[in-house]
Amino acid sequence: MINYLYQEQNWKTQLSDLITDPKELLQQLQLSTDQLLSGAILASEQFKLRVPRAFVEKMNVADPFDPLLLQVLPHHLELEEHAGFVTDPLGEEQANQLPGVLHKYQSRFLLTLTGACAVHCRYCFRRHFPYQENLPKNEDWINIRQYLLDHPDINEVILSGGDPLTLTNQKLALWVERLESLPQLKILRIHSRVPIVIPSRIDEELVSLLKNSRLHTILVIHSNHESEIDDYTVRQLHRLTEKQVTVLNQAVLLKGVNDSAEQLAALSYRLLDARVTPYYLHVLDKVKGAHHFDLATDSISQIYTELLARLPGYLVPKLVREIAGENNKTPLYGTPIF
């Protein structure tokens, strides 16, 4: 958009001033057609529109196919039913051990401290997940601690979402301190889309919290397109990488958003500018309402093969799918040689 009014604004102010009205979003982008609007209003009844103004500033005006807009604008196609697209594609409701806890993978353990996200991504596999019933309260720490002690194989805790960086630094610090008190834990990982949609979230307190922890701290950001990473975002990410915090990126392969080797390669190079390592490229989870982002297996394989040819190995994200009940994310490219 024209001027950056919001990007450097305090992140809490931004979080309390999200765009949630489809009409306002479309007007800001000069896209007030009745068809887009009525579809957006209907689809937002199932999963609300939610987008920070700093992210809208990264979109092109008057472009209904802007790749950032497509990820957040509710669309009438979400209301279609499609075989195989279900509300809980990963069977997470089963894997729930304690409030807020998902332990599916041997050495790592997922902790959800909040159900809130700064942005609602239309393709999200958790769009139907009943978060609110399932968050740990302060007193649940005793049970979580006991669970970790009973599973000494766990050496990494992943704060996931909702989006953990919507929490205050104070609340994060409290949980980091609790986790640090367990010698078995070596790594603290945070999965968040906030550094992309509200880059000012990477503030001094957060940087020092991550830098000073006894644990190895890893931030996994979630960016799907190079236009999401403007110069300000790059500078903010540098604040972490220059303090030796490891920053990785995961993306989702989305029809209409980043479905070409050219786009994905551009994203990888942009991540390199920000000193962020491409980690995963997920194929879409078959969640109800996201069918219009789905790509045929043939095109996925074609895109990825071309991506491998274009990029040095260290810039190629691993193509994976998450399959309910598997012990790890399933790699989709190449076969083991033994």
Ligand X SMILES: *Cc1c(COP(=O)(O)O)cnc(C)c1O
206 touches ligand X (CB under 6 A): no
- CA dist 119 and 192 (Å) reads 11
**Closest CB 269 distance from ligand SF4, rounded Å:** 23
**Closest CB 12 distance from ligand X, rounded Å:** 28
124 touches ligand SF4 (CB under 6 A): yes
Residues 101, 119, 198, 303: which binds ligand SF4 (CB under 6 A)? 119
- CA dist 252 and 225 (Å) reads 10
- CA dist 274 and 231 (Å) reads 9
Identity of the residue, 19 or 261, whose beta carbon is nearer to ligand SF4 in the bound complex: 19
- CA dist 76 and 273 (Å) reads 36
Residues 158, 179, 276, 319: which binds ligand X (CB under 6 A)? 158
Site residues for ligand SF4, window 172-211 (CB under 6 A)? 193
Contact segment (CB under 6 A) with ligand X among 28-36, 63-71, 100-108, 209-217 equals 100-108
Contact segment (CB under 6 A) with ligand SF4 among 7-15, 114-122, 174-182, 254-262 equals 114-122
Identity of the residue, 5 or 324, whose beta carbon is nearer to ligand X in the bound complex: 324
Residues 4, 85, 105, 333: which binds ligand X (CB under 6 A)? 105
Give me the residue label for tokens 């069918």: 291
Query: 108 near 158, Cβ under 8 Å?
Result: yes
Q: Which does 126 bind (CB under 5 to 8 A by kind): ligand X, ligand SF4, none?
A: ligand SF4
186 appears as a binding residue in the annotation: no
Contact segment (CB under 6 A) with ligand X among 51-59, 99-107, 227-235, 270-278 equals 99-107
Contact segment (CB under 6 A) with ligand SF4 among 117-125, 211-219, 294-302, 328-336 equals 117-125
Residues 53, 58, 75, 104: which binds ligand X (CB under 6 A)? 104
Which tokens is 294 given?
């789905």
- DSSP, collapsed to helix, strand or coil, labels residue 286 as coil
Type of residue numbered 274: A
Is residue 170 classed exposed, middle or buried when 0-12, 13-18 and 19+ CB atoms within 10 A define those classes? exposed
Identity of the residue, 39 or 289, whose beta carbon is nearer to ligand SF4 in the bound complex: 289
Pattern of binders to ligand X over 298-327, x per CB under 6 A?
------------------------x-----
126 touches ligand SF4 (CB under 6 A): yes
- CA dist 93 and 125 (Å) reads 12
The alpha carbon torsion through 220, 67, 256, 253 (nearest 10 deg) reads: 0
Query: 183 near 156, Cβ under 8 Å?
Result: no
- Residue 137: closest CA among 160, 111, 105, 165: 111
117 appears as a binding residue in the annotation: yes
124 appears as a binding residue in the annotation: yes
- CA dist 168 and 217 (Å) reads 17
Residues 58, 75, 120, 291: which binds ligand SF4 (CB under 6 A)? 120
- CA dist 338 and 336 (Å) reads 6
- Residue 11: closest CA among 202, 192, 232: 202
- CA dist 116 and 101 (Å) reads 16
- DSSP, collapsed to helix, strand or coil, labels residue 264 as helix
147 touches ligand X (CB under 6 A): no
- CA dist 326 and 135 (Å) reads 24
Rg (CA), the chain: 20
Q: Which does 163 bind (CB under 5 to 8 A by kind): ligand X, ligand SF4, none?
A: ligand SF4
Using CB under 6 A, list all residues that contact ligand SF4.
117, 119-121, 124, 126, 161, 163, 193, 222
Residues placed in the known binding site? 117, 121, 124
Could you list the residues that contact ligand X (CB under 6 A)? 102, 104-105, 108, 110, 158, 322, 328-329
Binding residues for [4Fe-4S] cluster: 117, 121, 124
